[in-house]
Every structure is written in structure tokens, then in C-alpha cells.
Structure 1
Amino acid sequence: MKRLLALLLCLGSSLCAADSRPNVLLLMADDLASTLSCYGHSEAQTPHLDDLAKKGVLFSRAYCQFPHCNPSRASMMSGLRPNKTRVTDNADVLYDNVPGVLTLPHHFRQQGYATARSGKIFHLGIPTGLESKDDPEAWDFGTPFEDERPYPPSRESIVTVKTGKKKGIGWQEIPGGDDQLVDGAHTAIAMDWLKKRDADKPFFLAVGFHRPHTPFVAPAKYFDLFPVDSITLPEAPANDVDDIPLPARNGSVPGYTMTATPEQRRAAIRAYLACVSYVDAQVGRLMADLKAQGLLENTVVVFTSDHGWHLGEHELWHKRSLFEESAAVPLIISAPGMKGNGQSSGSLAELLDIYPTLCDLTGIPIPSHVQGKSLKPILNTPSTAIHEGAFTQARRGPEAEFWGRSIRTLRWRCTEWDEGRNGIELYDHDNDPREYTNLAHDPQHAAILKELRTVLEEKLPPIK
């Protein structure tokens, strides 16, 4: 009888103990290319993300599935490719197209996690919020979306841009501290939630930053990190765009088209880098808070972006392309106990992989609908390969009338527009990492082109 009583007391104690499963902190920027110093960008200043990369694994070949906000986020958070979600524009609704879809945070909530969102994780329209595609079943707590806070009066800028009536892409440096803008405010809200959460549950906290999405607005102290004379413009051959199909160079996002002066270009790049440093600072605040609360050793931290952004490469100043600058994303995963921590991986990864990876790292089941693969093998052995190719789809053109699909292997990028009817591209990344020379019509590369186009046809049927 005494042994039975002791067993029951022990069982009761274990049931009442706090859940020890790993926590999750998902950090997501908006329109952030791999413009971080840990990714080799010579001008970026991102010390906190560099430190995170030293703690975890940096993926140097990670790719979004659709270089547009709502389609990319709908794919990543549902675990489904865009040709399954049929979300190809900011107006499309995931839950209408895939009724009952179990999103990543909703799954964690069902598995007993305390879930919270601070900022933009699912698509949230700027500035009205009328395009909100948030999952209402996903969160115990979520910040209400509100307009971008009215900007305080801008200070006298140290940059003189001769623009006439226009200054190109909108940017502004403002006086004051971080929390007067939404990214700083959402960081503070997330830190407050961490202090007040139910400590008996593991947490899934997602913090979404609006920057460096246009307009490029950040506190002036981040602009001060980048003297205007230090900003370099991207170089390219004079005939760079001559061999690019029309859909790949046509249809700039309305309002994003830059005018042509070097001063405007440098000002825009400087402002973008300032916004990146502003986001980096918020990551630093959150990581310091985790450490101060003793949570860092049992928390999986993921940092990424919904897609990249062009800063003049191929004469483009926006997203939505299928070039490397738009399709590639930064991805850093710091998971306690992984053997690869502190290393970089050149293995291919997709944003789709985040869903199964977080399930795998926390010991919760991976839903059967999820199309990505767990990156846990790479986190333990960074040289491991789990993908033969990473896939990205896009819509381009003034009326979004062109459909593109692209595969990136370790060496090649192959892109088709409307199954090849409106153009084909092939780039050799071993010899042409900037994708300056389209080899699609070079007979010497006909065999690899045919092979890659066959894979595209098999893996990415047209979106209907």
C-alpha cells in the first residue's frame, strides 16, 4: 500500500510539473534580403544577428516560395506550396482557398503551447490593416494591427538628394527612440508578454517586424551608422538586362520605381541599411530579455524574412522577381543542443521547412499535410543535404499577367515564364553568382536546361 501511495504521489507530482518542452521564438522581418554582415554584406551593421548566427546555424541558401508578402507568409505558415494554397496576391485568403488548414501557430496552440503574436506574422496590410490575413485560431494573445504611427517631424537630414519633385523610394530618418515606431513598440509588447505569460506552459512567441519594408523609416541614430559617401552602388555589365526575358524585367511594383540619379540610389540603400540595423537592434533586445529571464537555454530561436528585395540589381528596386536577390532569404536557427551550432550551412532550405523543423525540435507531431522537410539533420550536421532543389513561384507584369516558376539547385537557377512561352532563364552560380549571363539559349547547356525544366514541370504545376 505504501509503495502504491508513493507511486501515485510521484505521478501526481509529474503531472503538475511545468511542461519542459522547448520554447519557440520566431522572428520575421519584412522585405529583408540577405543584407546582413553575417551573410557577407560589406556595409551592413547587424551585430545582434551576427551573434545569433554564432549561436546557431546560418543557412546561406534559403529560399522563399513566393516573393510577395501574403503568398509567402501563407505558404510558410500553412506548410503548403503556393500552387496548393492558391494565394498569389495580397487580396487572396488562405482560409477560403484551403478550409480548415492547420497553421503552424494554431498547431502549437493545440499541442498545449502558450502562443502569442506581436507584429506582422501573417500578412497585415500597410497602412490600413484592411488586408489582414491573420489566423484568429492561432493565438492566445495577438497585438491589434494599427496604422503605422505618425512619424515625428524629421530632423535635418545630413543627406542632400537632388530630386526635384520626387526623391525616389520613400525614406525618412526621425529623432527619438526605437519604441515610437511599430517595430520597437512590438518588441516591448513581446518582452512584456514574456514576463506575464503562464510559466507552466512552453511558449510559441512570434515577433514580426515591418522594416525594412517601404517606406524606409528608422530612428536617426541608425542612419548615422552609414555615411552617405560609404554607400556603394551595385555593379553590373552594361548589357546586363539584354538577355533577360520581358517578365523578369517588366512590371515594377507601382510607386517603387526609382528615378535614376546616383544620389537617390545611395540615399535609398542607406535608408534600407538603417532599417536593417533598426531591426537588428530589436532582435538584440529580445535575446537579452530571454537571457535575463533564464529562458535562452531552452528556447529555439528562428530569424528569417518573407522574401528578399532588390537594391538596384538588374535595374530593379522591389521584390517579386525570381532572381537570387528576391527569392533568397536570411535564415538563422539557434536550437539548444544541436551539434552544428556556430556553423554555416550551404545546404538548400525553403521557408516551407520551418513548420516541420519546429515540430521536430519540440517533439510535437508533424501534420500530414506539411510539404516541407525538417532541417534538424542539417542543424546537427551542416553539410547534410535534404533538398535537390528549392522552388519559388511568382506573378509579374503591370497586371500580374506573367507566371513564373524557378528551381535553385546548388549550382543552377532555372526559371520559366508561363511554362517557357514568355521566356526561359538559366544561370550558372558556380561561375556567375550575380546571374548576369542567361545561358538558356546556349546549346552547350541544353541537357541541364532540359533536366531542370522537367523537374519544374513535375514539382510545380501551374497555379489555377
Structure 2
Amino acid sequence: MDKKPNLLFVITDDQRFDTIAALGNKDVKTPNLDEIVRNGTSFVQAHMPGGSTHPVCMPSRAMIHTGKTLFRWEDHGETIPKDHVLLGEVLRREGYRTFAVGKWHNGTESFTRSFEDGGNIFFSGMWDHWNVPVCDYDPTGAYDNVKNFISNPFYESAVTRLHCDRIVPGKHSSELFGETAVKWLESYDREDPFFLYLAFMAPHDPKSCPDEFIEMYDPDSIHLPDNLAEAHPFNFSMQYHRDEVLAPYPRTPEIVRKHMAEYYAMISHMDHQLGKVIDTLKRKGKYENTIIVFVSDHGIAMGQHGLFGKQNTYDHSIRIPLIFAGPGIPKNEIRNTYVYHFDIFPTLCDLIGVQIPASLEAKSLMPALKDDKVQMRDSLYFAYADVIRGTKDRRYKLIEYRWKDVRVTQLFDLYEDPQETNNLFGKPGYQNVTSQLRERLLRYKQEWNDDRDETGKVFWSNY
């Protein structure tokens, strides 16, 4: 029997779909991601369905690891029920050696089920990239070490209890996690296939990395999209959320260019560390038999529509990069079919010849990998907390906002207006389109159990 391929699963934090040079961005420098694109298949219409809470990365990652839709957790994915089968759990049963490094935002119990080893594990959402509180692998699954920390000693004495074994001072998170992955690969001498889960914190803010990468980008040379705005046209509860106060109002081109230059620097720095991991695979003779998956948990606005965060359902925040490369995967090809990031789970099962668990709600992308004409879905569903619900087909996108006295509907023609700037709702000739999309929205509410979720109950009672 042929040996099963190794798996390298790389996930970043806050990386938008349009941030890879080989996929069309002429400003950003991503030589190692470009190589993965050339050696694999890129799904350029990959989406995450939004989030049921402010830290949308938490439910996003829960979906990825369970192959389930958004409204399947009472606590937004902070913990994952034991009856939700996990990707790492399946791979362990199939004889894979599972190792994780970096960010894990879904609780220690699900981590222990998924991985039999790990290093420099970050059990939280975000932190200072230069002083990351991390845990060593705990075979008992307890992870009960806690350290005292004063986050702002100049102005307060309040103690924060950090879930960690230690803080690694002065080493950037991308370097810490990349080096941990390299070290593990260099020492790997087993015949069993491995599943290496590498979860970077970058390019999530605070946007800071070594000067050599900052100096790669001149803010004045950054190209800006046409959908920049000084502020969002209406407040839907996000105006003063943490992500939105990272930049002042009004959002000027100068401010956005500065932030974008730092954002690209973070991506290039992460890309550089990823290159070292890939070089190690090649040096160890494992590259040709390793499937690489690259994805991000969500995108981010960075000035588009007057927003800076990801707590919305515009394409800049819900579309993400998704690339498969390795044995059995077409090289240097693009797929335009609509997919979700949680489709990764059953796709990997098909790629390595493992039965797909019955609990999954996702779809294997194998048909689309084999045939670029295959369309996996004709429409998608999106949500944010108890404020926004939306859906889109191949041409139109509907977004519904319900918050306090705010009752706003947006309708965009994605063919004519891909940057979502011209609201067609209420204009002559679009009543039937709106009605059809609203009917679809109601069907998705039932299919995804949205009306039984706490956030859904609030939204739909206001709808």
C-alpha cells in the first residue's frame, strides 16, 4: 500500500483574499506563497461565513476544524463539543502523527483531541507579537499553568492572568512559530505520515515586524481601491469597536496607505518564515509527498467602506485565500467556484483516502479540483453577531442590517460593482432580485439553525 501523503496546514490571521502577488496583487511581496500558487490550485472565491461574535476568528476556526456551519456552538466556538469530530482527531485515528504550533482559539480539550504533540502553543486570540505567552504541549490536556501579568504598568496595577508556561521575549510570533515548525520537521524520523498544523498570528494587529520588512514598503506607492470611505455610511454597532479605533476618523488615503504598508510587511515577514518551513520539507526529502493547505480565518477591511475591522460581511472581510498544493492536485490552476473554508476538512479526507465523517456539513472540493467547470455552490450565507445577515448568488449580494433603530438593506451587483459601492436596493427593476434573495435568506435561516442560535433569535426578532 502506498504511503499516505504528509499534510502541512498553514493558517494566518486577518489575511484578505487579495494579498498574494501571484494572484494579482502587484504591491505585496509573497515569493513563497507565489510558489505554492504555481504548484497548486487556488480557490479565488473562497469564503468564511462571518462570525457570531466580535472575535470572528474563534467561530471561524471552529468551523474549519469541524466541517460544520456557523451556528453549532453555544459559546461561539470557544469550546467544541465532544460529539463534533475534529480534523486532527480523524487524522490521528488514521495513523498520522499530529503536531501543532501557534494560535489555537478553541479551547484546550479540542486541542488535546486533535494533536498528540505540539510546541509554543498560543491559547488566545491576539497579543504582542514580540512577547507571546505560549504553552508547551501537555499530554494530560490540563494546560493549567497561569502567569500574572500587568498589561499597562504605567497607568494601572490590574493583574491579567495569562494562560501560558512562559512569555518568549523579543522574538516575533511569526519567527517563533516558524522556527518551531522547522525544528520539529528536522527531528522527524518516523515512517508515519505527519499532520503539521502551523497557525500564524500574523498579519493580525498590532502590525509590527522587523524593520527590513517594514522598509520593503513605501506607503506612498500603495494602490488603494475605489471603495475607501472616511467612515461607514451608517453605524451598525461597530463604530467604536476595538478594530475600528485602530485608525482615526476620517479614514484618509494617507492613514490607510500607512496601515496597508505595515499590513503587507507583516504578510511578507510571515511568508519568509513559511519559506523556511518549505525549504526544510525539501531538504528532508518530504516535499514531494506533502499536501500543503494555505488559508486564513477571515479577511479585513483596512479602510474599505470606512471600516478597519472584519466584523462585517463585505467581500473584503469574508473572502480569504485558499490554496491546495501537492500530490494529486493540479498545478498553477485557478478555481472560481463558490466554496467555504470549512470545506477543507472533507477535501483532505478525499485527498488521502479517508472516509468523510457523517457529522460534517461541508463539501469535498475534489470534484472542483478534478474539473474547473464544476460549481460547488450557487449561493452562500453570511452573518455577523445579532446585527447582520446576508446571502449572495453568482451575481447579486444582499446584506440586511438590524440594530436598534437601524434597518438598512443593501443590494449589490457583483458583476458591475465588485467593490460593493452602489446600493441598488429600492431602485426600479430590482424588486424581484431582492425578493428572491430574501427568500433564500429565510431558507438558509432554517438550514443553518440560525433561528435557534442566541444571536439569530435577536436578529430575526428584529427582522
Residue matched to 1:160: none
1:240: Cα distance to partner?
A: 8.9
3-state SS in 2 of match to 1:33: coil
Deviation digits for residues 158-187 of structure 1 (CA, Å, limit 9, x no counterpart): xxxxxxxxxxxxxxxxxxxxx921211211
Q: Is the 8 A contact 2:9 2:198 kept in 1?
A: yes
Q: How far apart are residue 248 of structure 1 and its match? A: 8.1
Match of 2:387 in 1: 403
User: Percent identity between the aligned chains?
Assistant: 28
Q: Deviation at 1:69?
A: 0.9
Q: Deviations over 1:116-168 (max 9, x none)?
A: 10111x317xxxxxx7685211111122435646469xxxxxxxxxxxxxxxx
CA shift, 1:455, in A, is 1.8
Aligned residue among 116, 120, 140 for 1:140: 116
Moved more, 208-217 or 419-428: 419-428
2:375 paired with 1:385: yes
* Structure 1 Cα separation of the partners of residues 371 and 16 of structure 2: 25
Aligned position for 1:422: 407
1:258 aligns with 2:243: no
Q: TM-score, normalising length from structure 2?
A: 0.80
Aligned residues: 400
In 2: Cα distance, 1:149 partner to 1:251 partner: 24
- Aligned pair partner of 2:269 in 259, 278, 296: 278
Provide the C-alpha distance between the structure 2 equivalents of 1:145 and 1:256, rounded to a whole number of angstroms. 29
Equivalences for residues 223-262 of structure 1 within 5 A: 223-236=214-227, 241-242=232-233, 246-247=235-236, 250=239, 252-253=241-242, 256-259=245-248, 260=250, 262=253
Match for 2:423 among 431, 438, 441? 438
- In structure 1, C-alpha distance between the alignment counterparts of 2:235 and 2:317, rounded to whole Å: 17
Match for 1:451 among 415, 436, 442?
Answer: 436
Amino acid across the alignment from 1:58: S
Q: What residue in structure 2 maps to residue 48 of structure 1?
A: 32
Structure of greater Rg: 1
> RMSD of the TM alignment (CA)?
2.6
Deviation at 1:444, TM superposition (A): 1.2
Deviation at 1:231, TM superposition (A): 2.3
- Does the alignment pair 1:201 with 2:192? yes
Distance 2:64 2:406 in 1: 29
Match of 2:73 among 64, 73, 85: 85
Name the CA distance, whole Å, in 1 between partners of 2:363 and 2:113: 24
Greater shift in the superposed pair: 78-87 or 418-427: 418-427
User: Conserved in 1, the CA contact under 8 Å of 2:231 and 2:307?
Assistant: no
Partner letter of residue 51 of structure 1?
Answer: E
> By how many angstroms is 1:375 displaced?
0.8
Unaligned runs of 5+ in 1: 1-13, 125-130, 153-178, 396-401
In structure 1, distance between residues paired with 2:225 and 2:254? 13
**3-state SS in 1 of match to 2:68:** coil
**What TM-score, normalized to structure 1?**
0.80
Q: Which runs of 5+ in 2 are unaligned?
A: 133-169, 455-463
CA distance in 1, matches of 2:402, 2:93: 40
Would you say the 8 A contact 2:412–2:424 is kept in 1?
yes
Write the distance in 2 (CA, Å) between the matches of 1:249 and 1:446: 29
Q: Is 1:219 matched up with 2:202?
A: no
- Quick check: 140-149 or 343-352, which moved more? 140-149
Secondary structure at the residue paired with 1:247? coil
Distance of aligned partners of 1:238 and 1:304 in 2 relative to their CA distance in 1, 3 Å threshold: closer
Aligned counterpart, 2:162: none
The match for 1:174 is: none
1-structure distance, mates of 2:245, 2:367: 40
1:325 and 1:36, CA in 2 relative to 1: closer, same or farther beyond 3 A? Answer: same
Aligned to 2:41: 57
Structure 1 residues 71, 313: CA separation in 2 closer, same or farther (over 3 Å shift)? same
Contact 2:288/2:327 (<8 A) preserved: yes
Out of 353, 356, 366, the position equivalent to 1:376 is 366
